[in-house]
Amino acid sequence: MRFTMPGNSVSIALALLVGVVLPGTTLAQGSWPDKPVKVLVPSAPGGPSDLSARLITARMLVELKQPLIADNRAGGGGMIALRMAAQAAPDGYTLVIGNPGPVAVVPHTESDVGYDIVKDFEPISTVMIVPIVLNVRDDVPAKTVAELAALIKARPTAINFGSSGIGQSPHMAAELFQKMIGVEFVISPYKGAPPAVQDLLVGSIQAMFDTTTGLPMVKAGRLRTLAIASSKRSTLMPAIPTLGELGYADFVMSSWYILLAPARTPQPIVRRLNKLVNDTLNTPDVRQQLAAINAEAIPSTTEEAREFVRSELVNWGNIVKRIRGK
């Protein structure tokens, strides 16, 4: 299965996992879950993620009497969290949120990833997809992408970019933008989007490709969105042009989120998790909440999730080749 909508909002991915732990479930492996379920998150906490985690925990305590624990393990382009998940016991008590960086990018950019994304994980379901946008501080003297590119070309050190981490999709977008305008500029990687957006607000950096983290600051007028890296304009931001419209051919990127379990997790648990995630994603209120942050729910079967991983490995491999000029 391949999704064409084009971007790091791990918090929302976590929020959607309310469905992972709603009803009590008894499986062939015994009473599961009979203790807290941990979800490893490959980014720093911040923004709505803490609120989402509290809401999930509260609902779990009511419905299941077991909390879902979000364990933030930022760094290494997301590899730290996935390495931990790959080495965890395959018993349904350790899950991980995957996104383009550790799932589909670093296998093409790093020689020692520490896991095989195809062999070491059991895909549960794809969760959501969000487009990547180009944001600048409100005091940057560029109202368009063309003006930003001209500013960078005239003074390469005038604009410093931030990113949610090396290998993450927003970082790759910055790398590709650098390649397409033909001028190198500073790209500072952070351990997740929230600290990068914070530095963008205080002026340590002046621009960044982002997903949903900076959206409240855009609405407040403190940040300005110049373009979106989707194949078409967003219904949430219809006035924002796509990079393709602006002459950056085939500049289409997105950030997506997928729930993974360690390989060899018992199939009854995998199937139950898949059903619970899908039931949650298919509710109208969840879809409305996602639409409000420019995101789209993408529930899937386990087989579709596995094929999605394989197809995105190819997709991001091609993007890495473009960046490297191959």
Q: Concatenated DSSP letters for 46-109?
A: -TTHHHHHHHHHHHHHHHTS-PEEEEE---GGGHHHHHHHHHS-SSSSEEEEE-HIIIIIHHHH
**Lowest-confidence segment of 29-38, 109-118, 197-206, 299-308 by average pLDDT:** 29-38
pLDDT of 248 > 80? The answer is: yes
Q: Which residue has the tokens 């009590």?
A: 24
Q: Which residue has the tokens 């084009």?
A: 6
Domains of the chain in sequence order: 10-130+255-323 (3.40.190.150), 131-228 (3.40.190.10)
Determine whether 288 is exposed, middle or buried from the number of CB atoms within 10 Å of its CB (0-12, 13-18, 19+): exposed
DSSP-based three-state secondary structure for 262 = strand
Which residues are paired to 95 by β-bridges? 39
Beta bridge partners of 101: none
Residue 43 pLDDT > 90:
no
Give, rounded to a whole angstrom, the gap between the first and last alpha carbons of the chain. 27
pLDDT band at residue 65 using 50, 70 and 90 as cut-offs: low
What pTM, to 2 d.p., does this model score? 0.86
The whole-number average pLDDT for the span 108-113 is 92
User: What pLDDT is stored for residue 1 in this prediction?
Assistant: 45
**Burial of 188 (C-beta count, 10 Å sphere; 0-12/13-18/19+):** middle
Q: What is the pLDDT of residues 195-216, one digit of tens each?
A: 999 999 999 999 999 988 899 9
**Residue 277: pLDDT band by 50, 70, 90 thresholds?**
confident
Whose tokens are 């390989």? That residue is 263
**Average confidence score pLDDT of the chain:** 84
Three-state secondary-structure class, residue 220: coil
Cα(163)–Cα(151) distance, integer angstroms: 20
Kindly state the tokens that stand for 271. 């199937």
